[in-house]
Amino acid sequence: MSKERGELTMNKWILAIISAIAVVVVTTFGITLKSGTASAATLVNSDNRGSFICWKTTQKCMDLKDDTFSQGQPIYLWSSSGSDMGHGLGWNLDKLGTVSATTPFSYHPLDTKYAGDPYYYIEKTTATGHNGCIGDVSPDVTGELAWEPCGASTTRWVWSASNFLVNVDASDSQFNLAPMVASTCSTSDGSMIKAAILGNGCDGPWTVNTGTGT
């Protein structure tokens, strides 16, 4: 074999190897990037549809942890803007009625206190509708807010004229029959939201903002 022919053969082998490596790299990383981008877009657009319920005037809002729809899954505070925004921020306020002298509380002095205020199921939105509601996992004590099936006893909330979120069942279950409201004392991402007695200094007001999903 001549020297020129040997060099030509060697060059062909080198080019073949480089081409093979390039195909593997492009294919592998192309699939990974495409999959990751599509997944993130689906989460943000699907489950941030509807309204954001935010702490005071901040952009920290109620978020279903890990965007996981299961009973007892925590609802915590998370950022509603930027690259690290939550994926379970969207909610729908399904109005059940208006507080009257005899409903929705079984302890009627609370009906008197909140007379005329609306009460709701606060439904978790999905891409096409909703799935589950905000509830209180331990209504007889200071419990954390969590995903519960809509219609469960702890999923009715009065939105007061002062913009406090009053849990009907938790308030009725208290030994002193005091209003139990959605409360958080920290605005850090991941801060738990609990039902606590009104007047604890961490209970609001809450605001409703338009979501960014589709």
**Per-residue DSSP letters for 168-187?**
HHHHHHSTT---EEEE-S--
177 within some domain = yes
Assess if residue 162 is contained within a domain.
Answer: yes
State residue 178's pLDDT score.
Answer: 81
Is 28 part of any domain? no
pLDDT at 139: 52
27-31, 116-120, 126-130 — which is least confidently predicted? 27-31
Which carries the bigger pLDDT value, residue 211 or residue 197?
197
Mean pLDDT of 176-187: 88
Convert the pLDDT of each residue in 59-109 to its tens digit.
Answer: 999 999 988 999 999 999 999 988 888 989 999 999 999 999 999 999 999
Whether pLDDT at 210 is above 80: no
CB-hemisphere CA count at 13 Å for 44? 14
Q: What does the radius of gyration of the chain's CA atoms come to, in whole angstroms?
A: 26
Nearest to 87 by CA among 104, 69, 65: 65
Dihedral sign for Cα atoms in the order 90, 47, 132, 80: negative
Q: Where are the alpha helices (DSSP H) in the chain?
A: 3-47, 108-113, 168-173
Is 166 part of any domain? yes
Contact at 8 Å (CB) between 208 and 183? no
What are the structure tokens assigned to 97, written together?
Answer: 């009625």
Q: Are 64 and 49 in contact (CB under 8 A)?
A: no
- The two three-digit tokens of residue 31, written as one number: 């699939």
Q: Which domain holds residue 149?
A: 48-210
Output the domain CATH number for residue 137: 2.80.10.50
As a whole-number percent, the residues of the chain with pLDDT over 90 amount to: 53
How many Å from the N-terminal Cα to the C-terminal Cα in the chain?
68
Residue listed under structure tokens 């807010």: 145
CB 90 within 8 A of CB 75: no
Structural domain count, the chain: 1
Average pLDDT, the chain: 79
What local confidence, expressed as pLDDT, does residue 14 receive?
A: 44
Predicted confidence band at 28 (pLDDT cuts at 50, 70, 90)? very low
What is the torsion angle, in degrees rounded to the nearest 10, for the CA atoms of residue 173, residue 176, residue 182 and residue 183? -140
Within-domain flag for 22: no
The pLDDT value given to residue 166: 96
Residue 148 lies in a domain: yes
Report if residue 15 sits inside a domain.
Answer: no
Query: Which pLDDT score, from 0 to 100, does residue 200 have?
Result: 81
Residue 30, pLDDT above cutoff 90: no
Mean pLDDT for 200-208 is: 90
Per-residue confidence (pLDDT) for residue 18, from 0 to 100: 40
Q: Report if residue 25 sits inside a domain.
A: no
Given this model, what pLDDT does residue 46 score? 54
In 3D space, the residue among 124, 42, 38 whose CA is nearest the CA of residue 89 turns out to be 124
